Amino acid sequence: MKTFVLLVLMVTLLTLPVAFAQASGGAGTVNTAASAITPRTGGCATCAAMAALTDTGQAVTVKAIPGTNETFVVGRIENLIPIGVLTVLGCEQCAAEAVRWALQQGSSFDDVERTVQTVAAMQKLDCFKSQFGPDVNARMQKPLAAAEEALTQARTRAAK
């Protein structure tokens, strides 16, 4: 039961911005390439973030938040959530597959690596250990190692 509560909490926290935008009337999706995004005049933080994201030369998907001039990048969190969930559940094979799937969906190596590191850091927190116990903590070791190994293998293949 504790694991289920943890999973629900993780998914809720990670998908809250997406759920807010969708509940606000649904934003239009705009697919853009790096050259198509031009910062608005005034240099707001959102424009700076979008410029930094598009400097990589990769296409990004952004959604407008209804009623504002703000946008947010979509597709990254949704690809990374399964890594955390399957790691907490303790499935080595599934955690490795979640890493491969996130990379296939367009998540960067850095995004996937930060996700695995975040789950590993969460596992080391004293409050996590005391709340969920040593069995959950121990169960996460092999899936974390499998996820890291899958990421290493993917990087090696990409470098060739």
Q: Where are the domains of the chain?
A: 27-73, 77-159
Query: How far are the Cα atoms of 32, 90, 119 from residue 143, in angstroms, in the given order?
Result: 35, 6, 11
Residues in the chain: 160
Per-residue model confidence (pLDDT) at position 19: 45
Where do the H-state alpha helices sit in the chain? 2-23, 45-54, 77-89, 92-104, 109-124, 126-139, 141-159
Separation CA 37–CA 104 (nearest Å): 24
Portion of the chain with pLDDT greater than 90, in percent: 31
Per-residue model confidence (pLDDT) at position 29: 42
Instruction: Inform me whether the pLDDT recorded for 155 exceeds 90.
Output: yes
CATH 1.20.1290 fits 77-159, yes or no: yes
Separation CA 69–CA 27 (nearest Å): 12
Element (H, E) at 32: strand 29-32
Read off the pLDDT of residues 66-100 as tens digits, 9 standing for 90 and up.
Answer: 777 776 565 567 788 889 999 989 999 999 999 99
Phi and psi, residue 74, nearest 5°: -115, 160
Mean pLDDT across 119-148: 91
Separation CA 84–CA 46 (nearest Å): 27
Mean pLDDT across 113-135: 90
A 10 A CB-CB count for 1 gives 5
Higher-pLDDT residue of 137, 48: 137
